[in-house]
Amino acid sequence: MKVKIVADSLAGGRLGYELFAKALANGSRVFGLATGSTPVSTYDQITASELDFSHCISINLDEYVGLAPTHPQSYHAFMQAHFFKQKPFSNSFVPNGLNPDENDETTRYEEIIANHPIDFQILGLGRNGHIGFNEPGTEFDSATHRVALTQSTIDANARFFADKDEVPHFAYSMGIGTIMKSKQILIEAYGANKAEAVQQMIEGPVTKQVPASILQQHANVTVIIDQAAAANL
């Protein structure tokens, strides 16, 4: 893992942008994208830049089960607002949260990824060490699956919803095995509430209890963290 410690998320976003730009210049055409507050500083730099993704494909990590693409808290809507409206891709895939058939949706999504292997994947880090929506205990070789969110994740994401009872309890997420197939991975984490997960991801044992710890075994991972998130290293 290449670990870059920066002053704050703004500086991290600039570095994240540079990695996207370099990947694009080096021929990456399939970008795996993430939601959450973490990648926003990178996306802001990208959308303000000259980078062109109109010949590229994007594939998002996850989506809440039960939310329509038009729901303001859906990850479809998030991506539209923070990335696609300003920088459209030739095709953008996000799991369909309204597909009630779990098997159909997860098989469909894995086929999309198999047909478009991911060159560059950006990730955020959950406070409990999750990546995508792969909660502690998820098998390292998992494919796209339906996830029951933990209380810790539901609580953490409640801030985006008007009412805590509105937070979905299930999501479709790429699996850890799916993520690990990406050729290059960038993971960012900012703030003191990520410090423990960051320490366990980088220095801890590789364990299913910390999903992000498997990234230690990937050949091309860059970690961008701020001083606060690096506090326990």
Residues that bind ligand GLP (CB under 6 A): 34-38, 61-62, 124-126, 132-133, 153, 157
Decide whether 55 or 153 has the Cβ nearer to ligand GLP. Answer: 153
**Catalytic status, residue 135:** yes
Q: What residues does 131 pair with on adjacent strands?
A: 134
Smallest distance from ligand GLP to CB 74, Å: 12
**Catalytic status, residue 102:** no
**Catalytic status, residue 128:** yes
Smallest distance from ligand GLP to CB 130, Å: 6
**Catalytic status, residue 116:** no
Alpha-carbon gap, residue 62 to 172, rounded angstroms: 5
**Catalytic residue chosen out of the listed positions 135, 145, 157, 188:** 135
**Catalytic residue chosen out of the listed positions 76, 82, 130, 145:** 130
Element (H, E) at 35: none
Distances (CA, A) of 55 to 21, 24, 219: 14, 10, 27
**Catalytic residue chosen out of the listed positions 44, 62, 119, 226:** 62
Decide whether 56 or 171 has the Cβ nearer to ligand GLP. Answer: 171
Alpha-carbon gap, residue 92 to 101, rounded angstroms: 21
The tokens for 194 are: 């990520």
Decide whether 23 or 131 has the Cβ nearer to ligand GLP. Answer: 131
- Do the Cβ atoms of 46 and 150 come closer than 8 Å? no
**In the bound complex, which residue of the shown chain has the CB atom lying closest to ligand GLP?**
124
Distances (CA, A) of 169 to 55, 136, 160, 165: 35, 16, 14, 9
Residues belonging to the active site: 62, 128, 130, 135
